[in-house]
């Protein structure tokens, strides 16, 4: 899958934010043992619970009394769970190679540690065996649905002028991408030089570079980069602010960064 250049910048920054907050979603696919549910410590002599997350988007939860499976979808620090019996969302508070903490509305904070233990045996009352064999129903797991990406139109009503190119040259701070504001404590910048070079920086470190050029009608910016070639539509532009639209990312709001005055 090809990502837009601006999305690469944003995704790179998001990974640094996750690290700061001790959330790295690559560790989710694993087996986890619950050590506490809210204020209740686990496991006890009578109860054990294990979660197994797979790359296919399935989570299986096994306890001393039952084994259940559901689909899950991971978005940022949210895990959406869906099955015939349950539809709910968990908020990840911590996720490292060894420890996993999420908030669930009924239980509160659920704390888990990575484990190699298998699911505990399902206990069936002895009295039930005297009357009939226990029925084991096969759990049907639906394939997770993959949503098609939203493609935004880059056609705009922007009215260019002779100053359009000159106004674009400079360093621009990213305020938001789509409906997502730039993470607090992180700086995202796009530098457009008069020589036609473009650089994208995260916290002052260059992530992506390439070239930029105005289209003939001066309503679009043609970008040729290290990872991909793309076109940004200009929605508005003045001395201090610029809004561009990218097909995958949507509206990108930027604010001109003031040049440092020479002493």
Domain residue ranges of the chain, discontinuous segments joined by +: 21-122, 164-256
223 sits in which H/E element? strand 220-225
More confident: 217 or 7: 217
Q: Which residue has the tokens 């098609």?
A: 148
pLDDT for position 44: 80
Contact present, 224 and 216 (Cβ < 8 Å): no
pTM (2 d.p.): 0.49
SS3 content of the chain, % helix, strand, coil (to 5): 10, 45, 45
Average model confidence (pLDDT) across the chain:
81
Residues 128-154 as b/e (b if ≥16 CB within 10 A, e otherwise) read eeeeeeeeeeeeeeeeeeeeeeeeeeb
From residue 182, give the alpha-carbon distance in Å to each of 99, 173, 203, 206: 27, 9, 12, 17
pLDDT for position 229: 83
* Tokens encoding 26: 């690559």
pLDDT for position 9: 55
More confident: 136 or 69: 69
CATH of 164-256, picked from 3.40.640.10, 2.40.128.640, 1.10.287.1040, 3.50.30.30, is 2.40.128.640
* Tokens encoding 10: 């944003």
Residue 18: is its pLDDT beyond 50? no
DSSP state of 7: H
Residues contacting 83, CB < 8 A, separation 6+: 68, 69, 70, 71
pLDDT for position 40: 83
Q: Which CATH class is domain 21-122?
A: mainly beta
Could you give the CA distance from residue 174 to residue 200 in angstroms, rounded to a whole number?
10
21-122 shares its CATH topology with 164-256: yes
């Amino acid at each position: 899958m090809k990502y837009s250049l601006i999305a690469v910048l944003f995704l790179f920054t998001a990974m640094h934010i996750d690290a700061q907050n001790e959330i790295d979603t690559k560790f989710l696919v694993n087996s986890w043992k619950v050590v506490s549910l809210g204020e209740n410590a686990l496991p006890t002599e009578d109860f054990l619970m294990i979660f197994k997350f797979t790359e296919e988007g399935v989570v299986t939860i096994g306890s001393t009394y039952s084994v259940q499976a559901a689909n899950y979808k991971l978005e940022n620090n949210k895990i959406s769970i869906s099955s015939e019996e349950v539809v709910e969302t968990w908020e990840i508070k911590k996720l490292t190679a060894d420890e996993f903490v999420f908030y669930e509305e009924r239980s509160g904070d659920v704390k888990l540690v990575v484990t190699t233990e298998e699911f505990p045996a399902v206990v069936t009352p002895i009295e039930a065996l005297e009357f009939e064999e226990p029925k084991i129903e096969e759990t049907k797991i639906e394939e997770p649905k993959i949503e098609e990406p939203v493609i935004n139109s880059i056609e705009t009503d922007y009215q260019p002028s002779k100053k359009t190119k000159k106004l674009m040259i400079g360093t621009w701070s990213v305020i938001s991408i789509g409906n997502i504001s730039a993470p607090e404590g992180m700086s995202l910048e796009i530098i457009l030089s008069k020589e036609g070079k473009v650089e994208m920086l995260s916290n002052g470190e260059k992530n992506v570079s390439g070239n930029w050029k105005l289209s003939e009608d001066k309503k679009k910016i043609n970008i040729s980069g290290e990872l991909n070639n793309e076109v940004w539509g200009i929605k508005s532009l003045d001395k201090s602010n610029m809004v561009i639209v990218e097909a995958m990312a949507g509206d990108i709001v930027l604010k001109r960064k003031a040049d440092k005055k020479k002493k």
